[in-house]
Each structure stands twice: as C-alpha cells, then as structure tokens.
C-alpha cells in the first residue's frame, strides 16, 4: 500500500502546476466559486463566460446558495423595484407600489395593504415616508374623525416581502413644522429587530436658536425606543434666521453611508445640509452652492406662477456611496452640480446628464416636455423623472438611458413618496434568455 | 492460556489506544503521509467525519488518491491551525447549518493562510476542499478567488479558469445589453 501509485503523479502534477490551464477546473468547482461571489456584477460576469455556467447559475439550487455581501462599489440596477405612490389630496388610504422591476412597459400597480396596529382604530391610514434596503417607513394616522388633518399616531417600519413589521409611537413634537423622517437600515440580520434587520429612524427638523440648528431624535430597533432629543448647531453659521423651511416638504433626503443630506434653498442662497448620524455626537454641516446655481425668480403673484421659470431639484450620487450631487431639471434638460473631488466645495459649473429627456429613446416626443425630478434610488443609481402629461421614467445615471418607464395616466397626479429597492440578500440574477 | 489471555488484553488495550488516538493519517496521491487532528478532521470535513465514524480510516495512511501532496499538506495545515485557534461563535454557528447560514468573513489567520498560496495551489486547495466536503475551507478559498475576480471581465475570468467561450457573438452582445449594469467600466 505504502507509496503505491504516487510516483508518477508527482511529475504530472508538477507539469500541471506550470500550466494549470490543462485540465480546467471542473464546472462544479467553478460554480462553488461563482456562488460565493461577493458582488452581483462579478456573478453576472461568471455567468457570461460560457453557456454551461449561465444555465447552471439560473438553476434554483444555485440561487439558494448565493451569498452576496455587498454591491461591489457599483450601482446594481436590478435592485430597483419601483416607487411608492399615493393620492396627493383627500383619501390617504390607497397607496401603490409602481412595480417596474420586470421588462419595460409592463408596469404593475400593487396596492399596498398593511395590517392594522394592535388596538388600532378601523380608520387607520398608512402613509409611506421613506424606504431603504427593502424596508418601508410608514406614518400611521387615525382617520376616525374624518378630518382633513389626520393625526399621526405611530410610525411603522415594515418589510413587505416578509410582512414583518415594527410599530412604535411618534416622538413628541413641539409642532413647529413637520419633521423629515429618514429610515436608516443596518447591515446583517439583527435577531432582535422585528422588521428582520436592525434599523434606525431619524426625526429631524430645522430649528432656530441663535444659529441655525437641527433638532433630532433617533429611534433605534436595538433599544426599541427613541433616544433623547438633541439640538445640533449647523456649522458654519448661516444668517437665515426666521426663514421657515420644512425639510420634509422641500427636500427628499439622501443617505450616503451614515450621512444624511438635505437641500436647503432659501431666498438668499442654495445650500446642502449634512448630518453625520454615525458619530457618537452627531455633527451637522452646511455647504453653499455657487451663485451660478440656477434658482427661479421669486414671484409672489399667484398668476405669475405658471409663466415663470421652473426648476426641479434632487439630491443624488454619481457613484455608489460617493459624494452628493444636486440634479437640476430645467424644462427637460437635466444637469448635475458636483463638489470638487475629496472636498466639500461645490464646483462653479454643472455637467450635463441629458440635454433633453424628450430626445431619449422611449420618450421621443416632438412636443417640448416639462419634467420634474421625483426621487433617487440610492443603490441602483436611477432617478425617477416625472414627464408632465406622459407619466414616469427611470433614468440610469450611469448609462444615461431610460431603463424603466411607467406611462400610466392614472399615476400622473399621484404623490411620489420614495423609491423602493430590494435588499441585496433577496436579489437573484435574472438570466431570462438562458437556454 | 494465561499468556494468551494477557496477549488478548494487550491487543485489546492497543486497539483502544488506536481508537483513542487523536490523529488520523492521510495519504496523498503521490504517497506522502500527513497526520491531522482527528477532532478537527471530523469537525471540518464531512467526508473524513464519515470515514472516521464508519471505521474506514487506515492507520497506515488513508488513501486520498484525488489529492496531491501539496494540496493535502495545505488541508492538513488548515485543519491543525483550526484546531489550535479558538473557534469563534461565528464559526460554530456557520458549521451547524452551512446551507442557510450567511457567510462569515474569514478570520485573520484564515485570510493569511490563503493569501500566501500561489494561484495554482489555491485552485488545488479548492478542489481538495470540495472533494473532502470542507465547507468552511471552501468558503475561505472561494472567497479569496472571488475577491481576485472582482472587476474582471468575462474574458479575463475565462483566461484564469481556462473556460472555453461557446457563446456566439450575437449571444454575447445580447447578454451585454440585457445585463448592461454589470458591464460598465470594462
């Protein structure tokens, strides 16, 4: 037995070592490696190497073994599901997910149905406030008095995929202006978190003491409670005291890592406020966009409103996890105002994202279009654009192409709450034309 | 009689000692012998665990004809290092239900262990780990390869693994268009 059969294989192995190319690794081993891809793009590239890989990667048993852990520093477009929408006025109990995950032109409206809160009244209504990583943050109101103004009673974070949810009371508010509510979703599987993953909800609003401040409270799923209310001075100090600005109404928040951004556009200047929530003592800063940043002239006369110049603004990032950019829509031209790389200073000039939305395929129109920027999907890198009298399209910031469209007239006058993206853990590659 | 009995007892104790031996001997395809902690082998390899439980372990060296000496040396090295390192809670939980458990990042020593390997040694080790049913070692080695492949184009991946491209030009273009998001910056 001893030493048997070993003599010749040594030499064979040595030869094999010099030229590993013969024989190639068995397909089963390649699949083991591919299943452990760290990011979705690498996985897709494995599948693109040969037919067998693609066929086997589309297999259910392979998909079950996927363990993707991060997006690999790139936008992952397939994580985009669509956006959450609901009525602008009146009844607030009919919300939909405009599901554009499938191919173009097959928009599906999914009515969002939320289970009632324990001991809740039968007249509860739910309004999406924010969404991130597959979770949705909802405001729960009681509509039993049928008042126009519905009092918000609870907040709820829910996972529509698993139906897990966590309901908790609204924080005490001094009722001076509406807060911006931002949902922050942690990594990993929080065992204690009722919504499946650890999360935080930030309640932030602007306040004026002697300087401009952010007044914040944070609910964390870990502690299942609100933290203390803290007032954070925004540095450097801005002389905008007395100007009422409702963060929730005028800016969709942008979250990059543990930094939350809001636009702060006052009559005297254009700013971006950032809040580092990850730090033990949160810090708030403000940066000022250049004087060349386009702002519509202010007109107080109502009948002027239709005629004066109109811009639409949205915070986004040009690269995943990168610095913020401010997108500006001017008629149907979209430009992006960036900061200098590695700096907090905004550049004097924007770059052009698209010259004309109306000239892009899928929207081609002889008429001049007016568009507005609705929301940004942070992990897929797409911007939801409303084209007046046409519907909605998703613009991929990287390819500058329209990647999804929902030209459904029913949606035009609906309120857009936020984008909805899947978490990476539930993403599966879709190799539709694999044979 | 008495002598015989005594001999029998000695035999018996020797057998017990054998059964109690805390290492097993493995033999590579080229006949080299390696000793590895029995406990670690049984814990880390489903195949070796089965052989130990089924009594098919050969004291003179259990033949592993599919594994070359260099790869086996690495397998044994890994098992012994694993036996010496204090298993973290993460590792224990990942070995209980490896099919559903999320991947746990390689530990510092595991990272170092695969980092020192050449390309080919790493690939041989993946094959050995697959053959021996060593889920954790597969995780660690595949994770390393997967990190090496990050950002590589399908062409580069084909080259590394010597995969024959059997797609037509049209099919490749179709894939690129369908999955355009995964091919930026190529």
**What is A305-357 written as a DSSP string?**
TTTS--EEEEEEESSTT--EEEEEEETTEEEEEPBPTTSSPBPSS-EEEES-G
Chain A positions in Cβ-Cβ contact with residue B137 (cut-off 8 Å)? none
Q: What is the domain-level CATH number for residue A141?
A: 2.130.10
Residue of B122, B123, B179 to mutate, interface with A, max A Cβ within 10 Å: B179
The answer to the question of residue A2 being in a domain is no
**How far is residue A348's CA from residue A365's CA, in Å, rounded to a whole number?**
32
Among residues B32, B113, B44, B115, the alpha carbon closest in space to that of B68 is found at B32
User: What's the average model confidence in pLDDT over A211-218?
Assistant: 90
Beta bridge partners of A182: A202
Q: How far is CA A407 from CA A87, A100, A104, A389, B149, in A?
A: 17, 11, 10, 9, 40
Looking at the fold, whether A49 and A172 belong to one and the same domain comes out as no
Looking at the fold, whether A54 and A98 belong to one and the same domain comes out as no
Looking at the fold, whether A141 and A22 belong to one and the same domain comes out as no
The pTM score is 0.78
Looking at the fold, whether A118 and A240 belong to one and the same domain comes out as yes
- Neighbour count for residue A165 (Cβ, 10 Å): 19
Chain A positions in Cβ-Cβ contact with residue B150 (cut-off 8 Å)? 38-39, 42, 72
**How far is residue A35's CA from residue B62's CA, in Å, rounded to a whole number?**
31
The answer to the question of residue B111 being in a domain is yes
Q: How far is CA A429 from CA A43, A54, A171, B90, in A?
A: 8, 10, 40, 28
The answer to the question of residue A262 being in a domain is yes
Q: Do A25 and B123 touch (CB under 8 A)?
A: yes
Domain that holds residue A155: 77-426
What's the Rg (C-alpha) of chain B?
22
Percent helix, strand and coil across chain A, each to the nearest 5: 15, 35, 50
For the cut 90, the answer to whether the pLDDT of residue B126 exceeds it is yes
- Which ipTM did the prediction report? 0.79
Q: How far is CA A216 from CA A179, A266, B44, B67, in A?
A: 9, 21, 49, 61
Q: What is the domain-level CATH number for residue B105?
A: 3.30.710.10
User: End-to-end alpha-carbon separation of chain B, Å?
Assistant: 83
Who contacts B127 (Cβ-Cβ below 8 Å, separation ≥6)?
A: A25, A26, A29, B66, B67, B71
Tens-place pLDDT, residues A141-177: 877 665 555 677 889 999 888 888 899 988 876 656 6
SS3 B43: helix
Looking at the fold, whether A58 and A151 belong to one and the same domain comes out as no
Tens-place pLDDT, residues B15-48: 544 556 788 899 899 989 999 988 888 889 999 9
The answer to the question of residue B145 being in a domain is yes
pLDDT band at B121 (very low <50, low <70, confident <90, very high): very high
The answer to the question of residue B177 being in a domain is no
Q: DSSP state, A417?
A: E
The answer to the question of residue B163 being in a domain is no
**Residue A39: closest C-alpha in chain B:** B150
Residue A24 has its nearest CB partner, among B120, B163, B174, at B163
Domain that holds residue B23: 16-150
- The CA distance from B3 to the nearest CA of chain A, in Å, is 33
pLDDT for A26 = 86
- Domain tally for chain A? 2
Chain A positions in Cβ-Cβ contact with residue B174 (cut-off 8 Å)? 433
- Burial category of B20 from C-beta neighbours within 10 Å (exposed 0-12, middle 13-18, buried 19 and up): exposed
The chain-wide mean pLDDT, for chain B, equals 79
Beta bridge partners of A421: A80
- Neighbour count for residue A218 (Cβ, 10 Å): 21
Looking at the fold, whether A369 and A405 belong to one and the same domain comes out as yes
Looking at the fold, whether A134 and A34 belong to one and the same domain comes out as no
The answer to the question of residue A182 being in a domain is yes
The answer to the question of residue B161 being in a domain is no
Residue B181 has its nearest CB partner, among A4, A29, A78, at A78
Q: What is the DSSP string of A165-215?
A: EEEEEPPP---SSPPEEEEEE-SS--SS-TTSS-EEEEEEEEEESSSEEEE
Cα-Cα-Cα-Cα dihedral of B164, B166, B169, B175, to 10°? -90
pLDDT for B129 = 94
The answer to the question of residue B33 being in a domain is yes
For the cut 60, the answer to whether the pLDDT of residue A357 exceeds it is yes
- Domain tally for chain B? 1
User: What's the average model confidence in pLDDT over A295-317?
Assistant: 75
Looking at the fold, whether A209 and A258 belong to one and the same domain comes out as yes
Distance from chain centroid for Cα A220: 20
């Amino acid at each position: 037995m001893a030493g048997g059969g070993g003599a010749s294989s040594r030499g064979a192995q040595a030869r094999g070592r010099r030229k590993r190319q013969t024989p190639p690794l068995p397909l089963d081993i390649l699949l083991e490696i591919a299943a452990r891809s760290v990011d979705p793009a690498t996985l897709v590239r494995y599948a693109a190497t040969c037919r067998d890989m693609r066929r086997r990667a589309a297999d259910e048993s392979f998909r079950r073994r996927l363990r993707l852990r991060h997006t690999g520093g790139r936008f992952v477009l397939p994580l985009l599901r669509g956006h959450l929408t609901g009525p602008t006025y009146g009844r607030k109990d009919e919300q939909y997910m405009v599901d554009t995950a499938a191919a173009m032109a097959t928009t599906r409206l999914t009515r969002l149905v939320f289970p009632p809160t324990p001991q809740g009244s039968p007249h509860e209504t739910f309004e999406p406030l924010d969404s991130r990583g597959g979770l949705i943050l909802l405001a729960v109101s009681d509509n039993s008095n049928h008042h126009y103004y519905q009092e918000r009673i609870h907040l709820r974070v829910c996972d529509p995929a698993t139906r897990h949810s966590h309901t908790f009371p609204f924080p005490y508010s001094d009722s001076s202006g509406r807060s911006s509510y931002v949902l922050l979703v942690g990594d990993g599987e929080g065992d204690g978190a009722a919504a499946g993953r650890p999360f935080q909800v930030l309640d932030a609003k602007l306040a004026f003491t002697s300087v401009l401040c952010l007044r914040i409270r944070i609910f964390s799923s870990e502690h299942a409670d609100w933290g203390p209310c803290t007032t954070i001075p925004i540095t450097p100090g801005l002389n905008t005291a007395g100007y009422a600005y409702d963060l929730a109404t005028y800016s969709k928040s942008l979250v990059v890592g543990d930094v939350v951004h809001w636009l702060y556009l006052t009559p005297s200047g254009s700013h971006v406020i950032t809040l580092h929530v990850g730090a033990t003592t949160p810090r708030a800063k403000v940066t000022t966009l250049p004087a060349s940043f386009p702002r519509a002239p202010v007109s107080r006369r109502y009948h002027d409103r239709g005629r004066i110049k109109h811009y639409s603004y949205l915070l986004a990032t040009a690269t995943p996890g990168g610095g913020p950019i401010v997108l500006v829509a001017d008629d149907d031209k979209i430009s992006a105002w960036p900061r200098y790389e590695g700096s907090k200073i905004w550049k004097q000039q924007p770059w052009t994202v698209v010259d004309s939305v109306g000239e892009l395929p899928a929207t081609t129109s002889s008429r001049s279009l007016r568009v507005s920027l609705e929301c940004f999907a942070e992990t897929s890198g797409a911007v939801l654009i409303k084209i007046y009298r046409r519907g909605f399209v998703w613009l991929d910031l990287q390819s500058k192409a329209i990647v999804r469209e929902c030209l459904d007239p029913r949606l035009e006058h609906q309120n857009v709450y936020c984008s909805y993206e899947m978490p990476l853990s539930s993403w599966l590659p879709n190799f539709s034309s694999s044979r | 009689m008495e002598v015989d009995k005594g001999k029998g007892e000695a035999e018996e104790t020797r057998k017990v000692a054998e059964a109690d031996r805390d290492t097993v001997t493995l033999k590579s395809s080229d006949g080299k012998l390696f000793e590895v902690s029995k406990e670690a082998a049984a814990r880390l390899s489903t195949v070796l665990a089965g052989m130990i439980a089924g009594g098919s372990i050969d004291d003179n060296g259990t033949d592993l004809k599919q594994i070359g000496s260099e790869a086996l040396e690495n397998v044994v090295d890994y098992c012994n290092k694993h036996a010496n390192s204090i298993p973290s809670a993460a590792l224990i939980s990942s070995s209980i239900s490896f099919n559903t458990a999320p991947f746990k990042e390689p530990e510092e020593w595991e990272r170092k262990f695969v980092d020192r390997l050449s390309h080919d040694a790493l690939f041989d080790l993946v094959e050995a780990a697959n053959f021996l049913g060593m889920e954790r070692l597969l995780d660690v080695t595949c994770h390393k390869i997967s990190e090496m492949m990050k950002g590589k184009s399908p062409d580069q991946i084909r080259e590394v693994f010597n995969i024959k491209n059997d797609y037509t030009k049209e099919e490749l273009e179709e894939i690129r268009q369908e999955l355009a998001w995964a091919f930026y910056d190529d």
